[in-house]
Each structure stands twice: as C-alpha cells, then as structure tokens.
Amino acid sequence: MIKLYFIFFISISLTCSCQISSNSATVETNFHNADFKIFYTENTPSEYTKPFEDPWDNSTLNVDTVNVICDHNDLKNIHVKYNDLGQTALVLELNEAGTTKLSEATKKSIGKKLAIISKERIIIAPYVKEEIPEGLIQVSGHYTFEELEKLKGEIINNNQTAK
C-alpha cells in the first residue's frame, strides 16, 4: 500500500507541471452527461457526509457530498495517454472555473484527501500534497491503457462500466 500512495503523491504533484501531449487518445468535448464530481473529505462523519470505500486501502472515507468542488460543468477535456514516467494516465483537464475551484480546494486541503467520484464510487482519493493551480488531474499508477479507456467511458457516461 505504501508503494501505491507514493505513486499517488508523484501523480498528483506531477499534474502541476504536466503538459497534455498531442499524441494522446481522442479528446471528448461533450460532457453534458458526464458523471464526475470532486468532493472534500472529513475526518469524522456528519449529517453532510456519506461513507465511501477508498479503493486504495479499503478504508472508509467520510465524503462531504453537499459541497461539490467540481463537476461535469468544469470538465474541459479527458483523455488517456502515457505520462512522462511511461505510465498510462487518465488526464482530466478542467476549464477556467474548474481550475480556480480546484486550486482553492487543494490549497485548503493540504494533508487531506479529496475524493473524485463517478458512478457513486471513488475513482481516486489522493492526499493533497500541494496546491494544484493548473487544473490538470492525472490518474495513474497501476492501470492498463484499456482500463483507463473504460474509466474514461464511465466518466463521460457512454454506458461503459469500468471494473
């Protein structure tokens, strides 16, 4: 598990300097039906939180489902590519409004987790190491290109279901 978290820290901090390559998979532009939300997590349950299982360590996260940080309206592009480390990566690029919201949220959440949720499950819940001002979220680590393409399909809601 420590190895996976280490990869997460690297992935999230790399998003700050990551450039979207032109040789990536097709970029989707219509996100009207996308199922994508970013939420804060809390240390203790409350009337505003809902328990979700963290897929990385099977722990329970208290996700603040009332205060959405970003959603499909903030999504500009989504694609699968190989990152600078040669790993497959799902890259979610936010528009200007989403970038501002994510920047503010990550600044407030250093040392805490944010939960990225699709289809009522956590896709990824990384610890925030530093502010992410560029509006790029990179999911990488142990996925195949095909698995990330399925996840991308699930997020943009084209009736594919990721494992």
Residue 37 lies in a domain: yes
Residue 160 lies in a domain: no
DSSP E strand stretches across the chain? 37-42, 49-53, 60-71, 75-82, 88-94, 114-118, 121-124, 136-140
Query: Which residues, 6+ apart, have CB-to-CB distance to 25 below 8 Å?
Result: 79, 80, 81, 149, 152
Domain of 16, in residue numbers: 2-155
Query: Residue 156 has what pLDDT?
Result: 85
Residue 14 lies in a domain: yes
Q: What global pTM score does this model have?
A: 0.74
Query: Residue 124 has what pLDDT?
Result: 86
Residue 163 lies in a domain: no
Q: How many structural domains are present in the chain? A: 1
Residue 92 lies in a domain: yes
Query: Residue 103 has what pLDDT?
Result: 97
Residue 113 lies in a domain: yes
Residue 141 lies in a domain: yes
Rg of the chain, C-alpha, whole Å: 15
Please give the order of strands across the beta sheet that includes 136-140: 75-82, 88-94, 136-140
Which is nearest to 81 in space by CA: 15, 142, 162, 26? 26
Query: Residue 43 has what pLDDT?
Result: 92
Query: Residue 70 has what pLDDT?
Result: 96
Residue by residue, pLDDT tens for the chain (163 residues) are 443 333 343 344 333 323 333 344 444 456 878 888 999 999 999 999 999 999 888 999 999 999 999 999 999 999 999 989 999 999 999 999 999 999 999 999 999 999 999 889 998 898 899 999 999 998 887 889 999 998 898 888 754 444 4
Residue type, 113: K
The sign of the dihedral angle between the CA atoms of 134, 71, 137, 41 is positive
For residue 136, the domain's CATH number is: 3.30.1360
Rounded-to-integer distance, Cα 71 and Cα 67, Å: 11
Residue 161 lies in a domain: no
